[in-house]
Structure 1
Amino acid sequence: EFALESQLILFVVDAKEGVTSGDLEVADVLRRAAKPVLLLANKAETEPRRECAVEFFELGLGEAIAVSAQHGTGIADVLDLAAEILPPAEAVEAVEALRVAIVGRPNVGKSMLLNAILGEERVVVSELPGTTRDSIDTAFEYDGNHLILVDTAGVRRRGHIQRGLEKHAVLRARGAMERCDVALLVVDASEGFTAQDAHIAGYAIDALRGLVLAVNKWDLMGEGKAVRTQFELTVRQHLRFAPWVPLCFVSAK
């Protein structure tokens, strides 16, 4: 309950003890809460303990911040990060809707999925890559819950980024993940789960955001449990750093 009601979670672990079974259990709960989390490795007074803080990366909550509550080391960094994540005090009460950023490579069906969710064509859908040039925020209600969907242009490989609008679209896509609560990563089932898809998932994890994977165009894959099982196995192999990510097999059309 405390996780669902909070704006930011500070998860304190013991740098002296290392990763414990209790840490793993708590981390699992926090990942599912889809709330911003700062992982603090306390009792990191010495250089060896600060170096050991990297072990906590396996919790799936990003890089741990080495601190010492007793000596005050690293506390200023924590406060700076918290100030960047938390909304201004006067805006806290106005924040009600859950922000979901729809992200993914170009032409995987992000806009079509948004339209399917909303039940109407709010965004122009095209088969041409790069049609959606910018982020479009759409507020709606589902089952009494307020949500805001952020549709973005696809994230491209750096080597394929063109000048002008495409480059701007990539920046907006990554920026959308920074300002959302949950990233809905759309992948193309017919193309398989790619290394670029894994990189995009990493952007969301680094931003301390919740992550859901939508495997689109599943209608093209045929029926059979074996196909789905093999696809999920491939995804899990790519996302060893985030084994908790839920998969949804969908067809936006």
Structure 2
Amino acid sequence: MTAFYDLRAIGISVPPSVEDLCHVSGKDVRVWGRQDFLDDVIESIRRQLELSPSHAMLEVGCAAGLLTAGLSRHVGSYSGIDVSRAAVGLARSRRLAGAEFQVMDAARLDFPARHFDRVLCYDVLTNVPAFRIVRQIMSEMMRVTRPGGKMLIGGINDRSMTESFGRRLAAVAEDLDRRYGPARRPQVKSSLFRRILLWYKRAVWGIEPKVGCYFFCREEFLRFGEEHGLTTQICDVHERNPYFGCRFNVLYTIPGHS
């Protein structure tokens, strides 16, 4: 997975455009590149996490920081982590005030316990092939969240809607093509060295940018919450999300007082 996202990011010039950020994140620019849609998603996250200027926030799987500018203005400090070094490099190149980025494995967070008030992992678990790995990621998120803090895991593919999701995926693609034309991949605009490196990775490693698509049961997240004494809320993704009804969010509240 790291190689896929490195390959998406490595040919992008700095500072990245919104189209570039969408590409690196594996999101369709025809949806996520619209500022009104992005603002609605940010506001939905802000409400669910009850973000405050006093909060220290962590985003797990931030890619090149598509959500960072919108989120960081609502909190006191923002930290973003991702396994892709190239994506983190792009995020840093944006020089966003109050935001820092690190290359890090979500299942082994290099932060002290109880370090953050709010932790977000959005549209990441579609790339995780097994729930045992999801548990490791959520356990680490829980470890670094302070008592009374909140964790939001967003954009989870609902296993009970697997067949419906396939039909929805085709319908969404057809609708977007009709309304906006075919999706375009960003052109490689950087140095000759990066062009050669990009060619080498494709030719020798046989890597092409791809996004995983894994599904999970709501009950698995409910059990995790019960096992750890967390308050658990499960809800649909934002109503403007093209996959509304096929994906869900999980909001955990850590016991105790902040």
TM range (shorter): under 0.3
Larger radius of gyration: 1
Q: Which is bigger in relative contact order (C-alpha 8 A, separation at least 6)?
A: 2
TM-score (norm 2): 0.25
